[in-house]
Amino acid sequence: MLKLQDLLKDISDLPATWTCFDLSTFSQDKSLFDYQQEALKFALRGLWKYYEDCVDYKPGESQNAVTRRKEQFYEWYRQNGIDIDDLGISIDKQRQDIRNLLTDHYPAQNNCISYKNFINRMAFWMATGSGKTLIIVKMLELLWRLARVGEIPQHNLLVLAHRDDLLEQLRVHVDEFNAGNELFIRLRDLREYPEAKRKVASLFSNHEVTVFIYRSDNLSDEQKERIVDFRNYDDNGRWFIFLDEAHKGDKEESKRQHIYSIMSRNGFLFNFSATFTDKHDIISTAYDFNLARFIKNGYGKHITIMKQENRAFRDDEDYSEDEKKKVVLKTLLMLAYIHRAFEMVQRKVGNSVYHRPLLLVLVNSVNTEDSDLKLFFQQIRDIGKGKFEAQVWEKAKQELRQELADRPQMKFEDQELKLDLALYDLLKPEDIFKGVYNAENPGDIEVWVRPSNRQEIAFKLKNADQPFALIKIGDISEWLKNKLTGYDILEGFDDEGFFQRLNEDDSYINILMGSRSFYEGWDSNRPNVITFINIGTGTEARKFILQSIGRGVRIEPLAGNRKRLQNLYNAGHERARVLFPKIKDIVLPLETLFLFGTNRNALNKVIENLNLEDPVKTSHLIELEVNYETVDDHPLLVPIYRFADRPLIEQEKYKMGKFKIAAEELELLKRYISYLADERLLVALHNASPDQIKLLKQCISDQDKYFNTRATRYYSRIELVISQLFNYFRVIPEELDNFKLLENEISHFKQIKVFLEDIAELSKKIAHVKNYPNKMAELRRKFDSQELSFDEFINQLKSLSNKEIFQVNGQNLQIRHVAHHYYMPVLLSDSQKIDFISHIIRHPSEVRFINDLEEYISQDGNKFSNFDWWVFSKIDENVDEIYIPYFDPEANRLRYFYPDFIFWLKKDKNYYIVFADPKGIKHTEFEHKIEGFKKIFEDTQGKPRTFPYNDLKVRVYLFLYTEDQSLLPDGYKAYWLDNPEAIVERIKC
């Protein structure tokens, strides 16, 4: 299913006011991960598209401008093939109260409210544990900055979450953010909104922004004690609303979802969740980093589901005590094995790595007479006493070993779990007592409680120094009264809660037992084993399982680095490069989350259904082949570049490389510099270096030489002007170094991914087209040797085809043998949004170019035949490394232009490289690309420079291909073509 993210991927270059943000820094001690920064980048693209590209926002704009903006955003979806026409709301199917609510705020046509009224939204599909709250806080900062410079309206900000602990988590993160940033985010209860608005005209100030927060399930269309009527806070729908898992709730949830949309109808809605199922949310997803991607990218532990089932604890099945004991022993063996790996890692590299492994026991019933928690605890108690038979131990150990030896599947990763079991084989009962119970020998259990904490019970063997297990439930009173009679209970010890300290290095709790009172909002990297007992398979149970797994997969092998060690090593992390070779063979148990459940199939189904709406598809790699018949031994040359020895500002030839700024803002800059007077103030206020101060004065003294004031570039803030100007001073252009023979600079044809279960038919058709030249040659040979009559030759020739069609869900993939192409066959599609294959030709202008070229070279006497030889190839900008560097004054930085095609043509000693880019003239940045090309490959008269390479004279050309050359500005018509024949005519061969 296509979604907003697929559209936003095509938006790569935003204006300076949309890109001059520090997306990495969160606080003094915390930075955002790359995927969190990526989420922010996609959010900025979406906001830019809505607030600037659709209808440019202007302060004080009319309601008509908002309506037109929504209409254009809606049309943009439709033009890109996203089916949203059926997402409108049929008011006839709604309850009367919801019908009235909707028609009071939205226009209805034919008893339907169009989805264009709800189009101003973005969803962020983020895995549990991926740090959604950090992204929300950082996005609040971005909205403040964008509103301060007038790119978006200064609307009210509201964060809604469906639980108090999520709001508390937001407060904690905001406090951390405030401690290390110039912006102060002030959180206020939504009910304080009228008072806040009375005090100040704007909730945005130079260094502070007010953000309102509230429980999402307390927002309604009626007023009670904690339930608030949204109409008292509506402010004509001018809200930026953030939903943090706020789509969860009761039967009134549908109405609340409409209320969120109504309150943001003239603003914007940001929806964050780990589990989206509604089509509205999926289609509007601007960034997807769900659990599968979270793990595949190395941010979480591997996941494997064990075959062992906790069926011995089911109410409707009768199992012996030994069977129950064996089930629990397996989880303890698993924990002890991981603990041994943890100890070995510490012996090898010290104790500042990884985490002390934890067993998480999640149950359905807590306080019933024979509750799941009670039955499991009884087995923990008996095993701690040493009450298990040797044969039960051996059977549990061998069964678990066999399952591990069978290499269970790692979920989402298409790999098997390959553990070194030598360490496992050494396990003895003493390892259970030491690694799980914190004791040398069996012993009786004693109970630790704190009178001030009615949610925690800790357990310790009497012969141990430290507690080993913790029960965390809503209220421990029932347990103390009815389930722990006869135990020694110690009260009143002076210590903070065990649960609160679970992540501390000196926490010796190895087993955490409970229900649902702690799984959300809990942040720990310690769980390595989770056992689910009678959780069920209903909707709420599935959410519970996914949320708890999301908490369990977190990992932090090195302090502050939440990625698996190998991923850190591959990324060049300094300490990981030292540690990984030493411990790479023993860390896998610590980097894996082992899941046990009462019903393994149900558990498996829950996880597999995680990506039901947007699966991480099965992929196959297809490698096409170089067309050696065409390429032969011909030298295919590509340019290589080096950085110039001087920055762009010092190079006379970069006349279009002037700094763009509106004339009035340049005057403001000049007055500001004059006002500061003392250069030391520039150093103090803007961290300016002596060289930057010198260049700044040089630019201001000769503004016509360095500034382009014909532009309408507004930075709105003087500090942004100076920051961008200093960035401009640092731009160093690239220049031609030499030419080299083509090696791996074109490689996309070796990296084609097909997202289908079965590619047998596709592979067969590719092979058929690939063999077309050989079959044609064989057919000619047989005819020439008179093995075939003329009629037989013609009949077989008719059955021979140089193209095939492969179709999936109405999307056609064309497989063609294109003469003179660098590799074969060529894969292309008329459907730009074809989604089952990557790295093919799909843009309409590129497909048209190939069609026109094929038609032309099939003609007798075409001018390409005048060359000794010629070859051309598609260039994929996402993979290949053939480009033209240029300075983009809009983005104020050096950029790379990747033309769509490259041609190599040779005639005698003359060698031509031609770049062809079939894009429409609406891509106005072509001027900067052409100027970049001219600086490198043309002389001062605009003629191609001649470069010697061995005995060849090399010239390089750039042509952009359009349907109608007459629409172009005169100064650039020489670089545009509207037919393939003109390529040859222009290079005058």
Q: Could you read off the pLDDT of 839-893 as tens digits, one per residue?
A: 999 988 899 999 999 999 999 999 999 999 999 999 998 789 999 999 888 767 7
Q: 461: pLDDT confidence band, cut at 50, 70 and 90?
A: very high
Assess contact for 269 and 120: CB atoms under 8 A: yes
Q: Which helix (H) or strand (E) holds 790?
A: helix 790-799
pLDDT of residue 614: 44
Q: What is the DSSP string of 934-971?
A: HHHHB-TTSPBP-EEETTEEEEEEEEEE-S-GGGS-GG
Q: What are phi and psi of 538, to 5 degrees?
A: -70, 180
Secondary structure (3-state) at 525: coil
Q: What are 933-957's pLDDT values in tens digits?
A: 999 999 988 899 999 999 999 999 9
Structure tokens belonging to residue 491:
């009260």
* β-pair partners for 707: 659
Q: How far apart are CA 456 and CA 475, in angstroms?
A: 8
Structural domains of the chain in order of their starting residue, each with its CATH number: 4-8+24-289 (3.40.50.300), 296-610 (no CATH), 625-631+741-986 (no CATH), 655-730 (no CATH)
Of 178-182, 442-446, 661-665, the range with the highest mean pLDDT is: 442-446
Whether 533 shows a pLDDT value over 90: the answer reads no
Token digits of residue 549: 């797994």
- 568-583: pLDDT as tens digits: 999 889 999 999 999 9
Percent of the chain with pLDDT over 70: 91
β-strand 184-189 against 734-741: which pairing, if any?
unpaired
- Give the DSSP H or E segment for 63: helix 63-79
The model scores a pTM over 0.75: no
pLDDT score for 249? 47
Average pLDDT of the chain is: 87
Residue 681: alpha-carbon gap to chain centroid: 41
In terms of C-beta density within 10 A (0-12 exposed, 13-18 middle, 19 or more buried), how is residue 777 classed? Answer: exposed
User: Is the predicted pLDDT of residue 275 greater than 90, yes or no?
Assistant: no
- Percent with pLDDT over 90 in the chain: 50
Checking DSSP bridges between strand 184-189 and strand 208-215, what pairing results, if any?
parallel
Q: Given pLDDT bands bounded at 50, 70 and 90, which one contains residue 615? A: very low
Beta strands 445-450; 488-491: pairing state: parallel
Q: For residue 902, give the DSSP letter.
A: E
Q: By mean pLDDT, which of 515-529, 662-676, 688-702 is the weakest? A: 515-529
**Which of 131-140, 425-434, 794-803 comes out lowest in average pLDDT?**
794-803
Q: Taking Cα atoms as reference points, which of 356, 357, 312 lies closest to residue 594?
A: 357
